[in-house]
Amino acid sequence: MTTTLFNRREASDYLLKRYGLRAKPATLAKYASLGGGPAYRLAGRFPAYDVADLDKWALARVSDLVSSTSEYEPVCNNAQNDKKPDLAPSDICGDAIKDGRPTRKKALTG
């Protein structure tokens, strides 16, 4: 089985082209240090991102298809959600839900 591995620049380009997610190489480096980013391997001392791991990470951040803003649900960091499964999305996302309504404010990461 052949695995395609990308360096940070290629991973950044892939996420933008495939999902419209802007994650600059420096942002991916920050996520690698602090957590919250896509899984990666080290090829020597260099990070290498598998396409499957980039897809999994990106899909966790993209909402379901909606035809109206009233259908919008915030997408929260799944890592936080896994650590606190007994909490409601509003507890995890912070102010991503305001007055019972979802907002487009960026959900918390890492």
User: pLDDT per position in the chain (110 positions), as tens?
Assistant: 678 899 999 999 999 999 999 999 999 999 999 999 999 999 999 999 999 999 999 999 988 888 888 877 666 554 444 444 454 544 445 444 445 555 554 444 44
Per DSSP, the three-state class of 50 is strand
CA–CA distance from 53 to each of 23, 41, 59, 84, 94 (Å)?
14, 10, 10, 23, 26
pTM score: 0.63
Angle at 24 between CA 22 and CA 26, to 5 degrees: 150
Number of H helices, E strands in the chain: 5, 5
